[in-house]
Amino acid sequence: MNRDYSQHASKIAKYFICTAIIGAVGLVIYICTGRAMWIDLMYYLSYVKLIVSLIKYIPQVWINFYRKSTVGWSIYNILLDCTGGILSNAQLLLDAYLSGDWSGVSGNPVKLGLGLQSIAFDLVFIIQHYVLYRDRTDIYLHTVEEERRRLIAEGRVPRAEDEEQTHTYL
């Protein structure tokens, strides 16, 4: 498979990655000088994960809204993700209930946040798929060959003869 070299990370993504790395390196320096503990690094990285998880859902919600369609991706992954979010939060609440200590819920805000975030976005996807755009079929995606021709016309996929030349060099 050929990589599209015109694709690149956005400036915002590059800034976020650099900021996250610089923050982690700075925290490791603090740890080495005795001003912080390793658990602080774990908390920092967990919040980075929470932000990344939030960011990963937004483009798909926007694409579905813009196209007024969910054609092209599987709802089953969303249903599994939603199940995971529900079970994660159920475990958190059950552990707190059984121990009689509800600080476990507030003491692990990233786990709670990831579960709630997952459930919230999955509900948006489920509503998009089963309610808002259930009867919508994308006129551009009737067959694989039609989609391939459209992508070639846009210059986003190599032509078949280009692929054959690439394979002869491998």
Is 70 exceeded by the pLDDT of residue 49? yes
Ranked by mean pLDDT, the top range of 11-25, 94-108, 129-143, 148-162 is 11-25
pLDDT recorded at residue 121: 96
CB 20 within 8 A of CB 12: no
CA distance 118 to 57: 9
Is 60 exceeded by the pLDDT of residue 166? no
The answer to whether the pTM exceeds 0.85 is no
Is 60 exceeded by the pLDDT of residue 46? yes
The closest alpha carbon to 83, from 95, 75, 72, belongs to 75
CA distance 97 to 108: 15
Domain residue limits, the chain: 58-137
Mean of pLDDT values over 110-135: 92
Predicted confidence (pLDDT) per residue in 141-163, tens digit: 556 677 677 777 777 665 555 55
Average pLDDT along the chain: 85
The percent of residues above 90 in pLDDT, for the chain, comes to 54
List the structure tokens of 139. Answer: 């006129």
Q: Which residue has the higher pLDDT, 55 or 141?
A: 55
CA distance 113 to 121: 12
